Structure 1
Amino acid sequence: MGWNSWNKFECKINETIIREIADALVRTGMKDAGYEYITVDDCWQIGRDSLGNILADPERFPSGMKSLVDYVHSKGLKFGIYSDAGTQTCQGRPGSRGYEFQDARTYAKWGVDLLKYDWCNHGKQNAEASYTIMRDAVYKAGRPMVLSICEWGTNKPWEWGASIGHTWRTTEDIINCFDCKNNWGGLGVLQIIDLQVEIGGYSGPGHWNDPDMLEIGNGVLTANEERSHISMWSMFSAPLIAGNDIRNMSAQTNEILTNKEVLAIDQDSLGISATRWMKYGDLEIWFKPLNDHNFVFCFLNRSNQPVTINQDLKTIIKNYKVDGSYNVRDVWKHKDNGTTEVNIKGTIAGHDVLMLKLTRKYYSRR
């Protein structure tokens, strides 16, 4: 869990913004809710010195990257940085190809805690081999770092990423919309959700599918869509990386990003990604087991019109080879909603979710 500069600021970043974001992460309660990494994405680097060492842009980061990392650490937070497996980053800055061990040593010296490693300008490189080189470089540098593989799902990193990195992007970049895609491959929230259906089994503790960063608070998604966005990412046990300007976000955005009942589902120690259990036209029912034999159901309304539900949850649980009675709680309303002895009834607004946590009253394994 954390924050990344790209979705809101793209290349318009500097050390003042990052320091203020660190302050805001603490002030707004996001740190207390579990957001701990602050990652500077592309455009922080400007070149290399005569020895090949990577250089931060002195106009944007005049105090130097080590000073910025120290400031973030002083807030009880962790620092992430961006590079690319190719010769250049996506924005034409120096990539790490041929400099992997040198760059990893530099990041370790600065105190970096996470490396987001992109896949632009890679030519005919082999993805698995390229990411393995950087993994080995990080090991050699001697400082533990999260390695965030960002090759957009092109080479099915879920099949090989667990032995190399900690997270791997499963899709092209997210764009700030709920149901859309564009001509360069960017995808909306629903389009990304669809690409997670068949790959949930590859994700688990220490090796996570990453459906990309959050667009919550960036001014396009409605409140319903933002709830659906973070709810489904939490159902997937995905990294939750905010991408808004948290220095001046609304109370509504803050509430959505820091809903502790939802975040606890994302961070559940069992780490199982949800299964799409049923699909009735525009209504989908997703199902996720939690630790202590508890469960979550997320009803996702893909339509922009409300839908009415009358669902027996107990039967679905029996199909998971569990019998028993469970208390039902609406984690967005923070309200108990009966038990599994009776059907769940109600209306779900357009592009919204009904997210229910089931906590056992009693159960037995068949």
Structure 2
Amino acid sequence: SWPAYIGSNESVKPFGEMIMDGCNLWRNWDDIQCDWDSLSSIIDYWGNWGSVLAPYAGPGHWHDMDMLLIGANCVTEAEERTQMAIWSISASPLIMGNDLRKVGDVSKAILLNKDAIAVNQDPLGQMGIRLTESADEPLQLWARTLSDGSIAVAAYNKGDDAADISIDFSELNLFGDIAVYCIWDQKTVGSFSGSFVAESVGSHDTRFLRLTPQ
């Protein structure tokens, strides 16, 4: 946890000179609390520092966003999906912080989703980042390049109302026909060209997708 104690300016932390040489994972910022305000603040922080943090994440050395609240019964199901998606995109260790005896079926399905875990554990080890410029924007896109050339995308609705979130494939360097796979539903949505719209993403929820060139 030492990097968390030397401030919130990630650009001056000695990842390359010291931390990566002695650690397989490390905490960067505040301890997570069992509520949405804490969870969303960590998401904002990682989004703001993503481009600085990404070069220092990879096989054998990972930024740790802190424990998963999934199954701890302190955030909504939508917020649990968001945490699993953003943690997976960000290549953060998935460490449960719950009482296993009290994990409900929906939470268990999120934790055991093989497609989400595959994104988190992708062998390329490239950390994803928030593409949306500001944490203040309610509709956000996060993306991670995977080892097979596909792109994992989290379409995150930070706002208070359901909304459509548009994904422009060219912003992901994807062209031609793109197969869109829904990680939560574990099925292919279809083939699309140019863009895809994640419709009616609920408040604090995230549509988690895998986009694959055809």
1:257 equivalenced with 2:111 (yes/no): yes
Match of 2:190 among 324, 338, 359: 338
Tell me which of the two structures has the higher relative contact order, counting C-alpha pairs closer than 8 angstroms and 6 or more residues apart: 2
Distance 1:324 1:205, change over 3 A: farther
Structure 2 residue ranges without an equivalent (≥5): 7-12
Out of 229-238 and 244-253, give the one that drifted further: 244-253
Name 1:272's counterpart in structure 2.
Answer: 126
Give the 3-state SS of the residue equivalent to 2:132 in structure 1.
strand
Name 1:174's counterpart in structure 2.
Answer: 32
Shift of 1:258: 0.5
Distance 1:248 1:218, change over 3 A: closer
Name 1:289's counterpart in structure 2.
Answer: 145
Distance 1:290 1:190, change over 3 A: same
What is the letter of the counterpart of residue 164 of structure 2?
Answer: T
1:243 equivalenced with 2:97 (yes/no): yes
| 1:48-127 matches, cutoff 5 A | none
Structure 2 CA distance, aligned partners of 1:158 and 1:245?
Answer: 33
What is the letter of the counterpart of residue 300 of structure 1?
Answer: Y
Which one has a bigger Cα radius of gyration? 1
Structure 2 CA distance, aligned partners of 1:343 and 1:323?
Answer: 9
Shift of 1:220: 1.3
Residues 158 and 204, structure 2, Cα contact 8 Å, conserved in 1: yes
Structure 2 CA distance, aligned partners of 1:190 and 1:297?
Answer: 18
Structure 1 CA distance, aligned partners of 2:158 and 2:102?
Answer: 30
Residues 200 and 273, structure 1, Cα contact 8 Å, conserved in 2: yes
Distance 1:310 1:233, change over 3 A: closer
| 1:292-307 matches, cutoff 5 A | 292-307=148-163
Shift of 1:357: 0.2
Give the 3-state SS of the residue equivalent to 2:140 in structure 1.
strand
Q: Deviations over 1:178-218 (max 9, x none)?
A: 12xxxxxxxx1111112223222211110000011111111
Give the 3-state SS of the residue equivalent to 2:161 in structure 1.
coil
Give the 3-state SS of the residue equivalent to 1:293 in structure 2.
coil
Name 1:194's counterpart in structure 2.
Answer: 44
What is the letter of the counterpart of residue 153 of structure 1?
Answer: A
What is the letter of the counterpart of residue 317 of structure 1?
Answer: L
TM-score using structure 1 length: 0.52
Structure 2 CA distance, aligned partners of 1:277 and 1:190?
Answer: 17
Structure 1 CA distance, aligned partners of 2:148 and 2:167?
Answer: 24
Name 1:21's counterpart in structure 2.
Answer: none
1:213 equivalenced with 2:67 (yes/no): yes
Give the 3-state SS of the residue equivalent to 1:174 in structure 2.
coil
TM-score using structure 2 length: 0.87
What is the letter of the counterpart of residue 231 of structure 1?
Answer: A
Residues 175 and 213, structure 2, Cα contact 8 Å, conserved in 1: no
> How many residues end up aligned between the 2 structures?
200
Structure 2 CA distance, aligned partners of 1:202 and 1:357?
Answer: 24
1:353 equivalenced with 2:203 (yes/no): no
Give the 3-state SS of the residue equivalent to 1:291 in structure 2.
coil
Shift of 1:265: 0.3
Name 2:2's counterpart in structure 1.
Answer: 151
Distance 1:303 1:340, change over 3 A: same
Structure 2 CA distance, aligned partners of 1:297 and 1:279?
Answer: 15
Shift of 1:158: 3.5
Structure 1 residue ranges without an equivalent (≥5): 1-149, 180-187, 362-366
Shift of 1:279: 4.5
What is the letter of the counterpart of residue 167 of structure 2?
Answer: Q
Shift of 1:294: 1.1
Please tell me the root mean square deviation across aligned C-alpha atoms, in Å: 1.7
Shift of 1:247: 2.3
Structure 1 CA distance, aligned partners of 2:3 and 2:160?
Answer: 28
Q: Deviations over 1:59-89 (max 9, x none)?
A: xxxxxxxxxxxxxxxxxxxxxxxxxxxxxxx
